[in-house]
Amino acid sequence: MSTLADHAFAKMNGIGNEIVVLDLRDSKHVVTPAEARAVASHVPFDQLMVLQPPRLAGTEAFIRIYNNDGSEAGACGNGMRCVVRRVFENTGQATATFETRAGLLNCWQGPSSDLYTVDMGVPKFGWQDIPLAEEFRDTRYIELQIGPIDAPILHSPSVVSMGNPHAIFWVEDVNAYDLGRFGPLLENHPIFPERANITLAHVVDRDHITIRTWERGAGLTKACGSAACATAVAAARLKRVNRTVQVTLPGGELTIEWRERDDHVLMTGTASFEYEGVFEPSLFASLA
């Protein structure tokens, strides 16, 4: 029987990004893709955030992040805020450091008690770092389009890595496109050897961007924190916005700062608790 049978979990969300937080710091068990899919069939989520025992001194946990298709993600900003709220409420802390596949993330509460900030680290722009399947010297725009060559529907995205690959298409209206149709095609395009998160972005003004995202391994989502970070950075690289912007997603608002002194990206937003539960053993019966 799976170690997850009868194990407690917390259902949360980060501005509509459906998150399950699972604390396995007292166990050496590593969640398998099949177990993650089994959890998703019982408690629908965009990301499953699993706290494993810390591997580095000074960190609270090593975080493994699973999409609802069982694949692993390197980063999830909205999920990290949920983890941060959960840990802070249980310990009384106001600051903490976590390790993920994308690196170390420093987190803190504020500027008010219902807001949490995650330092998402330094974005990467090199084509090999994103990664792309072929060289592009300037990743502010790359040659990629959907639709006829002479009249493409979407074209020339900016690409950025925030610990996971992002492609941002600049549009006038983020709701004017069938992202549920184009998202899977673009996510799995051969130019992205590790697939990619696909975002439609509209620059409202120098302090405000609106986005919609098709999330790699999860599909259409109300919110994607790393996509908000990637979009803010990409827009700033194009000199279209300031280095601190408000990003509007279908699920709510995030404040993104691309800090000038060290190029770290700071994401600030809320994290909501929904309920606690226990995984039924029957979920994992077929995995034995």
Is 224 noted as a catalytic residue in this protein? yes
What residue has token string 């302090």?
Answer: 207
- Rounded Cα–Cα distance for residues 26 and 283 (Å): 22
Query: Two tokens at 119?
Result: 């330092």
C-alpha R_g of the chain: 18
Handedness of CA 1, 13, 88, 162 (dihedral sign): positive
In angstroms, the CA 182 to CA 146 distance is 8
Q: How far apart are CA 97 and CA 115, in angstroms?
A: 17
Instruction: Evaluate whether 209 touches 231 at the Cβ level (below 8 Å).
Output: yes
Q: How many CB atoms lie within 10 A of CB 146?
A: 15
Residue among 76, 82, 107, 229 flagged as catalytic:
76
Whether residue 82 lies in the annotated active site = no
Sign of CA dihedral 89, 38, 15, 95: positive
DSSP annotation of 138 reads: -
Catalytic residue among 82, 107, 224, 229: 224
Question: How many separate helices (H) and strands (E) can be counted in the chain?
Answer: 4, 19
**CA atoms within 13 Å, Cβ hemisphere of 72:** 12
Q: Which residues are catalytic?
A: 76, 224
